Every structure is written in structure tokens, then in C-alpha cells.
Amino acid sequence: MSAQAVIDSLEFARTGQTLRGSLSIPGLARLQDSLHDTSGQVEFAVRGGLDARHRPILALEIAGMLHLRCQRCLESLDYPLQLANTVLLVSETQAGAGELDEEEESESEWIVASPALKVPELIEDEIILSLPYAPRHGKGVCARGAAPAPVEPRVATFEALSSLRKNRN
């Protein structure tokens, strides 16, 4: 990873800079638990700018193909990433003192501005936030077919039976 992967975020936004790059998926350590395998890479673009209220922002675009693990059959599930998001840069004092107004708290995603913002970590955060909680193949594609996983009902029945037995004793 080049030295450019670390940016002075406020300066980057004020001067409207753009950073493009790619990240290898094996390098995204916090993503590994969700992945079936680590082939491929992720392309990203970060654009600095100001929003309509002249607040510093970073516009993020992320694209790539991940191989997630299907939660039904545990096989590889192609997951095309196509993210576009804008994050507001706030100062540490704003964030710490609860000085964000309501709109900033609820509607915008924000991060604390840093003179040494690690872009790969920011991109990884965005990817993690975007992933489905329990990815599954569609019907007819999944190796396990459309049959519902039998585990939960069986456990529930077993528990119901054992509590019945307990009640009898």
C-alpha cells in the first residue's frame, strides 16, 4: 500500500482531492469471517469536497466482487459490491461533546476528521457495514436447494418435549 493511502482528511476535503486505488481482499483482515475465499480485489475512489452546508465530506465509491459464505450451504456466494456513500467529517470535539445536530446524528454517516486518516480502514468499514447479515444463495441456485434448514425446528421440538417430560416428573 502506498503512502498515499493515508490522507489529511480535512485538507483532502477542502482542496477537493481524489484518491483512487485498489485493495487486495486478503489484506482486509476484519472481512475474513464473512468470506468463503479471498480471491479478487476491491476498487475504490475517495473524493473530497464540501456539502451544501459547506461542511467537509468524503464521497466514497467502492466496487468489486466478494465471495461470501452462503449461510445455508456454506459454499461460495458471489456478492458484487457497488457502494456509493458520503461521510461527513467532524472534529473530535464536536463528536465528543455531542455537538452534532440532530440531522448529523441521524441522517449522515460521519467520522472524526483525522490528519492521518487511513483510507483502507475506512473502505473496509464501509464494506463491512454494507454486508448482509446472513447471505444466502437464491432459490434454485443454492446447493441445499429450497428446503428450509431443519436444525431450528428440531431443536425447538426437542426442547418442547424435554420441558414436557420435566413437567410430568
Which residues form the interface with Zn ion (CB under 5 A)? 70, 72-73, 137, 142
**For the chain, how far is it from start to end, CA to CA, in angstroms?**
66
* Contact assessment for residue 136 and residue 68, using Cβ atoms and an 8 Å cutoff: no
CA dist 47 and 28 (Å) reads 21
CA distances (Å), 33 to each of 28, 42, 70, 125, 158, in order? Answer: 10, 17, 12, 14, 30
CA dist 56 and 11 (Å) reads 9
What is the closest distance, in whole angstroms, from the C-beta atom of residue 146 to Zn ion in the complex?
Answer: 10
Question: Which of 67/72 has CB closer to Zn ion?
Answer: 72
CA dist 123 and 12 (Å) reads 16
Question: Which of 149/164 has CB closer to Zn ion?
Answer: 149
Question: Which of 70/90 has CB closer to Zn ion?
Answer: 70
What is the closest distance, in whole angstroms, from the C-beta atom of residue 139 to Zn ion in the complex?
Answer: 10
Question: Which of 8/75 has CB closer to Zn ion?
Answer: 75
Joined together, the cell numbers standing for residue 80 give: 458484487
